[in-house]
Chain A
C-alpha cells in the first residue's frame, strides 16, 4: 500500500476548487472586468436590444461624471454617511463591548444577544419601521424629544436632518456586529497587563488609553475597514426611507448608480460611477492601513 502520487492529489484539489472558482470567476471577477469595459462605452437602453450599436467613447463617461453636480452631491452624501456614521458606529460598538466586558457585570450573554439582534434583522423591514418612528407628527422619536423641550423635527423631510436620521438607523442596525468583534479583541488582552497598570496606579481611563486601545488597534483597524467598506455602499436605507431625497440630500453613489443603470438604463455611465466608487473604497482602505502603520 502506498499513498497516491502527489499529482493525483493536485488533480483532486482542482476538482474540489472547480465549482467555487468557476462560479466566482464567471459571476464576479468577469463582470467586474466587464464593468471597466462598459464604462468606456455609451451602452444604453438601445444597446440592450441591439448590443452592436454600442460605441467606444473613451473617458467621456468619466468626464461627464466629473462635471455632473449631482454626482458630486452623491459623493459628498456618501462621504458624510461613511465619515460621520462610521466613526460613530465604531464608538457605540466599542462602548457596548466595554460594558459587556466589565468584570462586575453578569448576564453577559443575555445582553449580548439583545444587542446583536438588530444586526440580523432585515434592513428593508426595519427601515420601514424607522420611517414611522421618524414621522414628524405621530412618530415616537419626536414625541420623546417633545418631553425634553425639543420641537418637532421633520427627520426625513428636511435636507439637513435626513442623513443624520439614516446614520442613526445605521448605528442601531450595525453596532452589534462590531461589538462582537471588539469583545473577542478585548478578551484576547491578558489580564496581568491590567493588573500591572493598576499596581502602577493607573485609573480606569489611563488603563483604557494605555493598555486597551494600543492592544486593540489591530481589531480597530479591521472593524474600521469593514465598517467603512460597508458604509460606502449605502443603498437600501435611502432607497426605502427617502428615495434619495429630500433635494437629493440622501442620494448615495450606489443609489445614483442604480438609478442611472437600472432605471434609465444608461449602463455605460453607471459603470463609470461604480468604478469611481471602487477607487474611493480602495483609497480609503489603503489610507486606513497607512494610518495604522504610522501609529504603531
Chain B
C-alpha cells in the first residue's frame, strides 16, 4: 500500500517536472518524504486512537460517552468510575488475581523452559533429536484441542476454580523452550567444558555460566510470558467459575454483559486491564521487540 502510493506520487512528480528539469530530484525526494510521513502519522493515529478514546471516555461523567454528536474530550474530568470499580465491583481483587497468576507463571516458566532449552542446545544425550522433533510437533497443535480433557484432568486433581488450575498449564511452553535453545546455541562449549574441568556440578554450570549468558533472551521470554498470561482469556474463563478467582479479562467480559449501558465504567475497567501490560511493554520494549524479531526469523 505504502509503496504503491509512493510510486504514484513519484510518477506524478516526474510528469509535472516535464521529464528531467534540474532540481527535480531534490523536490521529488522532498515530496516522497512528505508522503511517507503523512502515511506514517495517519497510521500512528489509527493505531492509538482506540486507546486514547478509551482513556478519555473513562474520565467522562456518566452518559457523556453515549451522546450525539460524540464527545472526544470529557467536558468535566471525573474519577468516579474508577472509584466505583474498586469499591462496588471488587476490581482490586481481580487485579491481584491477575498479578499473582501472571507473576507466578512467568517466574516458574523461566526456570523450567531455560533448563530444557539449555539441555537441548548444549548437552549431548541419547534421544535428544527425537525428543526435540516430537516437541516441535506440538507447535502445530491448537491448544483448544487439549482443553476438554484438560478440564476433566483438572477436575480430578481438584484444581478447578483455583489459581493453580490456570498456572500449571502455563508453566512450560514449547515456544519458550525453542526460543531459549536458539539463543543458548551461541554459548561457547569451551566455557562449559572449562567449568566442568574445574569440577563444577551441572546445576552449578547452569546457574553461574548459562543463566548469565542467556539473560537477554530470558528478559524477552519473561515479558512475552507475562503479557500472554495476563491477556489470556479462554482457559481462565473455563477453569475459574467462582468470581473470587477471576482474572481481569474474565471479570471484564463478565461485567460488560451486566453493564452494557455504562460505557464510561466499562472504559475505566478496560484502562485498568490494559495499563499494566502497556507499562511492562513500554519500559522493557527494547528486549521484547528485539526478541520477537530475532526469535521469529530464525525460528
Binding site for B on A (CB under 8 A): 1, 3-4, 6, 9-10, 12-17, 19-21, 23-24, 26-32, 34-35, 38, 48, 91-92, 95-96, 98-100, 102, 104-105, 111-118, 120-126, 128-133, 135, 137-140, 143, 172, 176-177, 180-181, 183-185, 188, 203-205, 208, 219, 222, 229, 232-233, 235-236, 239-240, 254, 257-258, 261-262, 267, 270-271, 274-275, 277-278, 281-282, 285
Contact = CB atoms under 8 A, between A and B. Distances in A.
A111 B202 CA distance: 45
Contacts of B234: 235-236, 254, 258
Contacts of A172: 46-47, 50
Contacts of B126: 10
Given A20-B113, A120-B278, A138-B66, A113 B285 contact: yes
The 8 closest A-B pairs by CB, nearest first: A34-B149, A20-B116, A12-B202, A95-B1, A10-B125, A31-B146, A13-B123, A23-B172
A50 B282 CA distance: 50
Interface residues on B, range: 35 or more
Given A10-B126, A128-B270, A138-B66, A274 B148 contact: yes
Contact of A236 (B125, B233, B278): B233
B86 interface: no
B293 A99 contact: no
B293 A205 contact: no
A163 to B, nearest CB: 19
A239 to B, nearest CB: 7
B86 to A, nearest CB: 17
Nearest to B122: A13
Given A13-B123, A123-B231, A124-B233, 9 more contacts: A34-B149, A99-B43, A114-B44, A114-B48, A121-B51, A121-B274, A125-B274, A135-B66, A138-B68
Contacts of B66: 135, 138
- Residue of B47, B65, B270 most packed against chain A (CB within 10 A): B47
20 contacts: A13-B125, A26-B153, A31-B147, A31-B148, A95-B2, A99-B39, A111-B44, A114-B44, A117-B47, A118-B47, A122-B277, A123-B231, A131-B256, A132-B65, A135-B66, A138-B68, A143-B69, A184-B293, A229-B140, A233-B144
Contacts, number: 308
- DSSP majority for the A interface? helix
Contacts of A219: 297
Interface in B236-295: 238, 248-250, 252-253, 256, 263, 266-267, 269-271, 273-274, 277-278, 281-282, 285, 289, 292-294
Given A3-B196, A16-B206, A181-B293, A99 B47 contact: no
A213 to B, nearest CB: 11
Contacts of B231: 120-124
Contacts of B6: 102, 204
B292 A177 contact: yes
A143 B153 CA distance: 50
A139 B263 CA distance: 11
Contacts of B18: none
A116 B286 CA distance: 12
B37 interface: yes
B274 A104 contact: no
Given A129-B270, A278-B142, A27 B153 contact: yes
Given A12-B123, A257-B144, A19 B50 contact: no
B36 A128 contact: no
B2 A3 contact: no
B140 A6 contact: no
B141 interface: yes
B36 A274 contact: no
A124 B116 CA distance: 32
Contacts of A91: 1
A177 B199 CA distance: 45
Contacts of A92: 1
Contacts of A176: 47
Contacts of A114: 44, 47-48
Given A27-B168, A122-B249, A129-B53, A116 B289 contact: yes
A17 B169 contact: no
